[in-house]
Structure formats: C-alpha cells, structure tokens
C-alpha cells in the first residue's frame, strides 16, 4: 500500500498570507501608537526638566526681592529687582541734621555681611530702581554704607549720601523697623528663545549673564497698579515649546515683608 502525502493548496497559502498580513498591520499600528505615546511623554518630561531649574530660580529670587524694587517691562519682557543681600531691624536711625549713624542688629545669617559700598534701604516705597541716584516718592530712602563696626549683637553703621544727593537721614522710618541692604540688581528677560538672568553690581557697570532656560516661546510679567499690595505682587506667564510639545507656567508671585 503506497502512502499518500498531501501538502497545502495554493488557496490555503494565500489565505494564511492574508491573515498574517492583517495581523501584522494591526500589530504594527499598536506598537507604533505605543511608541509615539512614549516618545511624546518623554519629550514633555525632558522639556519640563529643562525649564524647571530656570522657573524655580525665578520664583525663589523674586520672592526674596527687596520690597519696592520690583520693575517689569514688556518690550523686552523683563522683570528686574534688587535681591536682599542682608536684612535686619534697626534700633536707631540718624536723628539729627549732622547725624549719620544707624544702630542695627547684626543680620541673622553669617553669610549676610554688610560691607562699605552697600546700599541701606528703609521703607523703600515708590522707589525707582532703574535710575540712580535712588530715591523714593516720599523722600530719601536709600543711603550708602560708609563703614561698619560690629559688637554683637549690634552693628554701628556709618551712612553717607549717594553720589548726586545730599543728606544722611532717611525720610520715613519703617513701621517694622526693618532695614535692607543691597549691592546688585538682577533681571530675568526673554532674549529670543532663551530666559536670561543678568546680574549687575549697583556700584559699577559690571554684569554677568547666564542662560536659565531655553525653548521659550513667550514671556509676560505684569503688575496691577490698582490691586491691593500691587508693589509686592507680579504675575508671571511663561510658555515653552519644543517638538510640538508645549508647557505653560503661570504664577502669581508675592514678595515677602512688603509694608
């Protein structure tokens, strides 16, 4: 008896090929969709990581700015302020026409050292931080430190007028007896697609610039003049975009210790 071997017919082979083709198409689409989703999430996370440092740096520094020194512009989009070098409370302000000595507590932090050439600010309301010499709407609120003598827990600080101004007295005392010290001006600005931080010493024109974030599409800094505490609040809107992925940051920042 002869054995009979039977193979696949042409129709069966065609059907199998069609089924494998259909299965392959759906499998490819499923894998491709998952890959695209992963790539989109990875791109968004990478964008967030790239801009998080700059945004957090901006938030932290603005909150610690000296009250009354905030200034915003729209062309270019910038926010400028004086960071607090040191802060303390005073016991005595210059009280006579010839007096120039302020007695204050030594700043709490060891790294906050007051030095000759620093600017001392008392009740800095209505200050124009862009134009030197600096003065407030109510009169003199900024004096320059000439010398510092420390005898814990107090400091005796000799003050002198800024170049271009006269007088060594503050026009208005602080309600909380606060005194701030500054030696530099900081700005965060949009330059093209970058968020740039620039630092300028108040006593000179020396500047230093650093890139805080890239892929910046638009920036907006605004202050509402009619709002309560308007000189201590700034609305920040930043839009970052890369490879069709966009992230928008919107914050209302409040400066601490505003009178």
Distances (CA, A) of 138 to 126, 127, 142, 180: 7, 9, 11, 17
Q: Which two tokens stand for residue 216?
A: 């910046």
Q: Burial, 50: exposed, middle or buried (Cβ in 10 Å; 0-12, 13-18, 19+)?
A: middle
Q: Distance between terminal CA atoms of the chain?
A: 111
Q: Any idea of the CA torsion for 98, 102, 103, 104, to the nearest 10 degrees?
A: 170
Average pLDDT over residues 7-22: 76
Average pLDDT over residues 193-213: 90
Q: In b/e form, how buried is each residue of 66-90, taking b as 16+ CB within 10 angstroms? A: bbbbbbbeeeebbbbbbbbbbbbeb
| 19-44 per-position pLDDT tens digit | 777 777 777 766 666 666 656 666 66
Q: Any idea of the CA torsion for 176, 181, 182, 183, to the nearest 10 degrees?
A: 170
90, 153 Cβ separation under 8 angstroms: no
- pTM beyond 0.85: no
| 100-120 per-position pLDDT tens digit | 899 999 987 767 889 999 999
- Sorted by where each starts, the structural domains of the chain and their CATH numbers stand as 46-77+195-254 (no CATH), 86-182 (2.40.30)
Measured in whole angstroms, how far is the alpha carbon of residue 211 from the centre of its chain?
12
Confidence of residue 16 (pLDDT cuts 50, 70, 90): confident
- Which of 52-61, 84-93, 118-127, 250-259 bottoms out in mean pLDDT, i.e. has the lowest? 250-259
Nearest to 178 by CA among 258, 248, 233, 234: 258
């Amino acid at each position: 008896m002869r054995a009979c071997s039977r193979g696949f017919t042409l129709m069966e082979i065609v059907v199998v090929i069609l089924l494998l083709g259909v299965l392959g198409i759906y499998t490819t689409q499923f894998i491709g969709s998952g890959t695209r989703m992963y790539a989109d999430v990875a791109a968004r996370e990478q964008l967030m990581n790239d801009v998080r440092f700059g945004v957090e740096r901006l938030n932290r520094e603005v909150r610690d700015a000296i009250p009354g020194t905030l200034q915003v512009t729209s062309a270019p989009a910038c926010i400028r302020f004086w960071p607090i070098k040191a802060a303390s409370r005073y016991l005595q302000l210059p009280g006579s026409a010839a007096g120039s000595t302020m007695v204050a507590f030594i700043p709490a932090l060891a790294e906050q050292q007051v030095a000759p050439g620093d600017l001392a600010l008392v009740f800095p309301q209505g200050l124009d931080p862009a134009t030197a010499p600096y003065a407030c709407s109510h009169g003199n609120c900024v004096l320059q430190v000439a010398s510092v003598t420390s005898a814990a827990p107090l400091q005796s600080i000799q003050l002198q007028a800024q170049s271009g101004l006269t007088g060594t007295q503050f026009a208005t005392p602080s309600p909380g007896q606060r005194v701030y010290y500054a030696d530099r001006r900081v700005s965060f600005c949009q330059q093209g697609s970058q968020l740039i931080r620039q630092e300028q010493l108040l006593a000179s024109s020396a500047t230093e610039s650093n890139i805080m974030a890239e892929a910046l599409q638009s920036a907006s800094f605004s202050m509402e003049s009619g709002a309560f505490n308007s000189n201590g609040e700034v609305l920040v809107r930043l839009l970052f975009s890369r490879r069709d992925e966009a992230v928008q940051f919107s914050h209302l920042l409040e400066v601490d210790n505003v009178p």
